Structure 1
């Protein structure tokens, strides 16, 4: 990156990045002043470091899984993941001037779907308006050389074992792109729906200031690895009502949380087969969310079917381009809330098809999780309740 007014030099190996003056965060979106301040530091760190990664590494660098769900991470744990192609960086912010070690929350190391390749130590000086990227290490180093502290569930690597000059990182990725960066991680146990709901009820109380330390690691890790349960816990801690009730969406509109991730309500006018009279026209309400997959836009539709006393639901995936098909190999899948399959829960395109769809009858307040393969951009599991 060419030095300019956004970069200040402290020493030859220091990377000093200015915090954009427009950086802002709604601290009311958190259950406690402590988690609000934790989120504030993470936001400052992200707003300064992401543009540098996009300019010096690739313009495709982006937040994982998506910026709209970051509050549900920062309410519970400090740190932010950024993906650069197939490589994941974890930003680890702190305010201390003691840079003798990098201390990383266990979630970013031992949850398989969260773990990164490189962990960047970022000192945040909010008063002076800059961040200092002071060194990095790999996941493998954290697991092999790091000291695990069970009292706060962190891994710590001494600064002397880290690489202080972050410019080395770009060279290393160019020269040795296949160099292993991650250590093996054991899969976390799958929680039952009852276990998850009990945890959400207990840890959803905002008086529990540090929920990440209030349950055994295996239960905690298994809970928040599931995007739907993590979101439910976050919303419970804020005292929000159910945000993903499909019946409520149809009756009174999409919740703000759901709108933020792309859900819309469509009113489709239907008419009798051979008539256009006003009396015979009907309006059908459908829920829609656009998905970006492999450079193309698709649409996930949810539509009620049948009679009110015998209702079932149609989940449908279509290409948004007129006349375009869904390629062979695509899959649309529904799972129970605890990610278990059930009969006829999947539709697979063996060749190019116009649509994939699943029709399913659901009990009152039953939750389902939708999945699409290949994975859509910014995908984060969500539980839709019926």
Structure 2
């Protein structure tokens, strides 16, 4: 990464970052040229700002929730979240020359699980190959000092209320790391599964150019806060077939979308020598995904049980290292598609154990969401269809 303050004449407080020549994006991964260009600007912004955050703050700075999820965000709303330990930065790119205010999409302010601590205004000049980080503010400032525009669902904060010198942010985090940055946010109301599916069907029409403005805010915010529904909407807008059908994965192979986030097939007969409790499983193919949790690697397995006409499913979590255990306090949990619990949906390790597992019978076409505590790295909710 290089910083060239001689590109143009800016104030001494401006932070100018070069866009790496490798910054590129497949614009065909979006439903419309407008969303493709929105994603392009966000990619240029991220490719320049993330290395700076890693260099000046912490090498562990990373995209939230994961880089593979970014297209499903950028298809629907502009902005990118980057986490630095427990602190979240929201990058807000713009091409406009007028920097009299910062306009932040409501999603990054009013969705509880999306909101950030700090919001960076980033001017992108793709022709000159640089971005300009021109100021920042906190979530609390956005909620208390900005004007909400109901027409485009953005919070607009006057530049005079922002901090222009980005060096102040570095000092503030060092001197006052516990300073409150967020206002309280009320959780959005529950969205019934049937209503969510109707919204995905309706908004999945790519002719609706701006789906975020096509339905009331409460419905929209709750729909895309659910990682599985957000991904389903994105895939529907691209005209993709169901990407998370477990039966199709077993019969025809893992979809490209699932492979990209780490799912694979595992032949239990071939791996029997390195597995535990193999006598409890039937020979055949299992689905496997590696997860990094609290500094160690684990494996989530999904294995069909019983006969084809009376089938049930075993979800199992185990440590990848042979002989290593799952620490006490870990939880494996299954939820319905709309995140509701059901009887015997959780297994918890009260002490160190070899594996956690849940067995569940599911109706054809039923969706299930898995969760693990502590949270795996790069976790994004997904709906597995059975």
TM-score band by shorter chain is over 0.9
Shift in alpha-carbon separation, 1:350–1:127, aligned structure 2, 3 A: same
Task: Tell me how far apart the structure 1 counterparts of residues 270 and 72 of structure 2 sit (CA, whole Å).
Answer: 39
Shift in alpha-carbon separation, 1:181–1:321, aligned structure 2, 3 A: same
Name the residue aligned to 2:278.
none
Q: Displacement of 1:190 after TM fit?
A: 1.1
Task: Tell me how far apart the structure 2 counterparts of residues 200 and 5 of structure 1 sit (CA, whole Å).
Answer: 43
Name the residue aligned to 1:205.
205
Task: Tell me how far apart the structure 2 counterparts of residues 310 and 284 of structure 1 sit (CA, whole Å).
Answer: 16
Matches within 5 A, 1:1-386: 5-9=2-6, 10-269=10-269, 283-386=283-386
Task: Tell me how far apart the structure 2 counterparts of residues 101 and 357 of structure 1 sit (CA, whole Å).
Answer: 52
> Would the aligned equivalents of 1:89 and 1:117 in 2 still touch at CA under 8 Å?
yes
> Would the aligned equivalents of 2:139 and 2:182 in 1 still touch at CA under 8 Å?
yes
> Would the aligned equivalents of 1:306 and 1:312 in 2 still touch at CA under 8 Å?
yes
Matched residue of 2:347: which SS?
strand
TM-score w.r.t. length of structure 1: 0.95
Matched residue of 2:21: which SS?
coil
C-alpha RMSD of the superposition: 1.3
Matched residue of 1:7: which SS?
coil
**Deviations, residues 61-113 of structure 1 (Å, cap 9, x unaligned):** 00000000100000000000000000000000000010000000000000000
Q: Displacement of 1:269 after TM fit?
A: 1.5
Task: Tell me how far apart the structure 1 counterparts of residues 377 and 87 of structure 2 sit (CA, whole Å).
Answer: 15
Task: Tell me how far apart the structure 2 counterparts of residues 190 and 26 of structure 1 sit (CA, whole Å).
Answer: 34
Task: Tell me how far apart the structure 2 counterparts of residues 121 and 22 of structure 1 sit (CA, whole Å).
Answer: 23
Task: Tell me how far apart the structure 2 counterparts of residues 321 and 61 of structure 1 sit (CA, whole Å).
Answer: 27
Task: Tell me how far apart the structure 2 counterparts of residues 298 and 220 of structure 1 sit (CA, whole Å).
Answer: 34
> Would the aligned equivalents of 1:270 and 1:284 in 2 still touch at CA under 8 Å?
no
> Would the aligned equivalents of 1:270 and 1:283 in 2 still touch at CA under 8 Å?
no
Task: Tell me how far apart the structure 1 counterparts of residues 117 and 89 of structure 2 sit (CA, whole Å).
Answer: 6
Task: Tell me how far apart the structure 2 counterparts of residues 198 and 153 of structure 1 sit (CA, whole Å).
Answer: 22
Matched residue of 2:112: which SS?
coil
Task: Tell me how far apart the structure 1 counterparts of residues 271 and 216 of structure 2 sit (CA, whole Å).
Answer: 57
Matched residue of 1:233: which SS?
helix
Name the residue aligned to 1:279.
none
> Would the aligned equivalents of 2:2 and 2:17 in 1 still touch at CA under 8 Å?
no
Q: Which 4+ residue blocks in structure 1 deviate beyond 2 angstroms?
A: 4-11
> Would the aligned equivalents of 2:298 and 2:319 in 1 still touch at CA under 8 Å?
yes
5+ unaligned residues in a row in structure 1: which ranges? 273-281
Q: Displacement of 1:52 after TM fit?
A: 0.2
Task: Tell me how far apart the structure 2 counterparts of residues 297 and 167 of structure 1 sit (CA, whole Å).
Answer: 37
Matched residue pairs, number?
374
Task: Tell me how far apart the structure 1 counterparts of residues 335 and 102 of structure 2 sit (CA, whole Å).
Answer: 39
Matched residue of 2:76: which SS?
coil
Q: Displacement of 1:7 after TM fit?
A: 3.2
TM-score w.r.t. length of structure 2: 0.95
Task: Tell me how far apart the structure 1 counterparts of residues 155 and 161 of structure 2 sit (CA, whole Å).
Answer: 13
